[in-house]
A and B are shown apart, each in its own frame.
Chain A
């Protein structure tokens, strides 16, 4: 049976990809993603994983190579961050439209300028509409588990979409955590060998990536949207089966101390653990505060999210990316859609924080929870606020 050992999360991610027995890895270095592909190249170099490691000359070619490899029938992986993700984003749209189940780990990092190698969610939000399934990890164990889930879900013939596992740059990628790596036999039981529905094969030729004239383009996009939404129950099913086998159950949104909560904080990623620490302290002083963490970012879990927050009078939605001059940050947009479309109008305050590597602390969460009560009671207009700004 697998045991819990301390290791850097990037190393664990690479080990998970190797356990998934990928066939082709194409990657280009960018901080803070590099440890993942460095370790993968070591695993291949040592002969522990029989795969082609293609050291491409850019992230654009990394994704292009992955598209070719996946179309050729290979289980395919890459990893990137920030500017590299921006560079490859043209091809990310095509990968999903061609229905190729590539898996990518995105070590979330701020976008330039000014150039910043540090963590926020700008890159995740930039590629929000690429039609990739996107999960967001809270800790190292979740990174590993979500990677297995990514291959399993993306390759399911009811899905056939590429999948991103988001993990916070440095905060997760460079952290040493106790992690359980399953053994090969267990992984093989969860993740069957990849059998592509269609692959480029001279014995059975087909044309892939043809021109879509105005007579067909809209129909293709509608079909893609329907298929993407239909991936939702399969995503849940794959988590259920993961839980049944490994004992760790995952859901699209996680609720923490929300049963009687009047104020709910909404977060994504690693800051959620900081928020929980803060909530524990607030609960001890009698404040009715809880946390809802979004794990599945795309397709967005509207119903599950609504059910998780519908009892609260007030929400504080924490965004870690700017939507310049928008009414609120990108996560808050979805939150408002989930609630307003269902005729539910709690007081919502949007906090933009943790940009470019700035910490969001336990104290910050306590302040947010207090501030939103005050704002709600005084009838302050709803809006967004950038926190921790030196002015």
Chain B
């Protein structure tokens, strides 16, 4: 049994009707109406609880939760810069490790959380994250992926999906919009052979919270990649954050999985997938795409899903598990 599996062998799932009442990330923040990112972050913090220290990358979640002299944080929270949340939290972890060992403090169970958006994680912060994962710090790193630089005004990142309109990937006579495929950041993290990697979506809060709790429980680095709808940047109604968070999974665009000690496990098998077109049509950032563009995307999504099933040791004809259906 690997170290993550060993740490999780008595894992108890959250229950939707008995979620913890604790709110380490409190109300009163200034996120946009319908923000899926703050929803995801709240779920992470509820799952991990108050015995934690959080380091934030620069970005929406930093700006909206900490306008001095106000704060939405009920746990210690540190923001330093854009590209270094993983390095900063590794320093906090190292401090606690040294001070506990030297007998100057007695707080061995604190959880160290670093988070950033997709730009802070997959682009500018990738080096610092890779270093922190490789060094084996006991940290949880959370990527809140809203698929573009939203805080600076919706510019493309390497995590922006193919075809999406952003302010630096505008569609035009000679442009489809984003011309590159979304970076598979969870696979990049998994390639570091860390104990725990998972993808999650706030449309499935129990699954997300279970994964956050597991990430906190495993010794060593854990990486969570969380789909985080941005109605403002995606040009959709503020009411749709939760519904697109489900649709993205149901259309296989953002599959939910875990990589525990290197073993890939599908969290939610999609027996009857919804067409990708339904997902794309839910957001105006994709409205310029033609039928043939959508067909191209559908084919690649299908192929990637098959590849994921193979990685998870599954064939493509199974059904959803009972446990997962409860949340659906």
Contact = CB atoms under 8 A, between A and B. Distances in A.
Interface of A: 23-24, 26, 50-52, 54-58, 60-61, 64-74, 76, 90-91, 94, 98, 193, 200-213, 216
Given A64-B128, A66-B91, A216-B68, A72 B53 contact: yes
Given A56-B131, A200-B53, A200-B76, A207 B92 contact: no
A57 B71 CA distance: 32
Nearest to B105: A73
Given A64-B88, A202-B50, A69 B94 contact: yes
Contacts of B127: 57-58, 61
A212 B68 contact: yes
Given A64-B81, A91-B80, A200-B76, A54 B62 contact: no
B67 interface: yes
A68 B68 contact: no
B52 A68 contact: no
18 contacts: A23-B95, A24-B94, A24-B95, A50-B102, A51-B98, A58-B128, A61-B127, A68-B90, A72-B94, A73-B99, A74-B98, A74-B99, A98-B80, A200-B53, A207-B71, A209-B56, A209-B66, A209-B78
A339 B98 CA distance: 48
A69 B135 contact: no
B87 interface: yes
Given A52-B97, A67-B80, A200-B92, 4 more contacts: A64-B84, A68-B89, A72-B91, A205-B73
Given A61-B131, A72-B91, A208 B78 contact: yes
Interface string B91-135: 111111111011011010010000000000000000110111011
Nearest to A93: B81
Nearest to A61: B87
A167 to B, nearest CB: 24
B55 interface: yes
B145 interface: no
A70 B110 CA distance: 17
Which residue among B63, B75, B79, B84 has the maximum number of chain A CB atoms within 10 Å of its CB? Answer: B84
Nearest to B83: A60
B77 interface: yes
B53 A60 contact: no
B316 interface: no
Interface residues of B, number: 50
A209 B128 contact: no
B67 A213 contact: yes
B239 interface: no
Per CB-CB distance, the 6 closest pairs between chain A and chain B, nearest first, are: A68-B91, A72-B95, A57-B131, A64-B87, A74-B95, A65-B91
B315 to A, nearest CB: 40
Contacts of A201: 53, 76, 107
B168 interface: no
B74 interface: yes
Interface string B175-212: 00000000000000000000000000000000000000
B295 interface: no
A91 B89 contact: no
A49 to B, nearest CB: 10
A376 B101 CA distance: 64
B67 A23 contact: no
Contacts of A193: 104
A69 B94 CA distance: 6
A201 B128 CA distance: 24
Contact of A52 (B56, B89, B94): B94
B59 to A, nearest CB: 11
B81 to A, nearest CB: 6
A208 B76 contact: yes
Nearest to B96: A72
A185 B158 CA distance: 55
A71 B66 CA distance: 17
A94 B80 contact: yes
Contacts of B132: 61
